[in-house]
Amino acid sequence: MPKFIPKKIITLNDYEIKTIEKAAKNSNDIKVFAILFVLFSGLRIGELCALQWKDIDIKNKIIHINKTLIRVKNKDTTNKNKTKIIIDSPKTQNSIRNIPINNAILPYLKKFQKNENCYFLTGKNTFITTKKYYLFYLDFLKSLSIRKYKFHILRHTFATRSLLCGVDIKSLSEILGHSSVKTTLDLYVHVTDSEKLFQINKLTFLNLSQSY
């Protein structure tokens, strides 16, 4: 059997994270804040676009993920469009999950909070498509002179930072909506290896510099 080679995961660096955080905190645009929101929750872009305020329980600090926005084949032969956008339940049961809200972003959620039927990204009863929001995201990065990243990089950054901050792999796997802990480990093995190196260097009970 071929040897497993972990996929190289790209993440935002410290400077880029701080730049985004500063811009998001100073903005009155929910679409800008949403980028920071993903860095604290690890949402997929389809989940973010389908998110409504009724899915965010500020009192109990929980985000309920139970749907996603996707593009599917249009079976209506009278319609010229080959595809259409729908909001449906996630593909897997694991993707239906509850994500705890980090205290750091709680005040901003309260600031932007709208009627429960409003969509998170628009503040209206209508949603924004993943394509349109992705283009907004790219323009936002460009305005900050940050290189062009895929949106999924935000999710990778969240996962990597969570592991480095000591979040246990089981909890992180459930927050990300992975099918198993193995999936999370396979994706972020480079982080866990770094953590192992850090932990092994805690073994200081031997004074090897001491001469005998």
The lowest-confidence range among 136-150, 169-183, 190-204 is 190-204
Domains delineated in the chain: 14-200 (1.10.443.10)
Instruction: Please state, in angstroms and rounded to a whole number, the distance separating the CA atoms of residues 200 and 196.
Output: 6
pLDDT band per the 50, 70, 90 thresholds, residue 74: confident
| pLDDT per position as a tens digit, 86-139 | 899 987 899 999 999 999 999 999 999 999 999 999 999 999 999 999 999 999
Position 210 pLDDT exceeds 70:
no
| C-alpha distances out from residue 43 to 4, 119, 151, 201, Å | 27, 15, 10, 34
pLDDT band per the 50, 70, 90 thresholds, residue 201: confident
Mean pLDDT of 64-89: 85
Q: Give me the pLDDT at residue 197, please.
A: 79
Q: What is the pTM of this model?
A: 0.86
Instruction: Please state, in angstroms and rounded to a whole number, the distance separating the CA atoms of residues 24 and 32.
Output: 6
Q: Work out the percent of the chain whose per-residue pLDDT is above 70.
A: 91
Q: Give me the pLDDT at residue 137, please.
A: 98
115: burial class by Cβ within 10 Å (0-12, 13-18, 19+)?
exposed
| pLDDT per position as a tens digit, 42-70 | 999 999 999 999 999 999 999 999 999 99
pLDDT band per the 50, 70, 90 thresholds, residue 202: confident
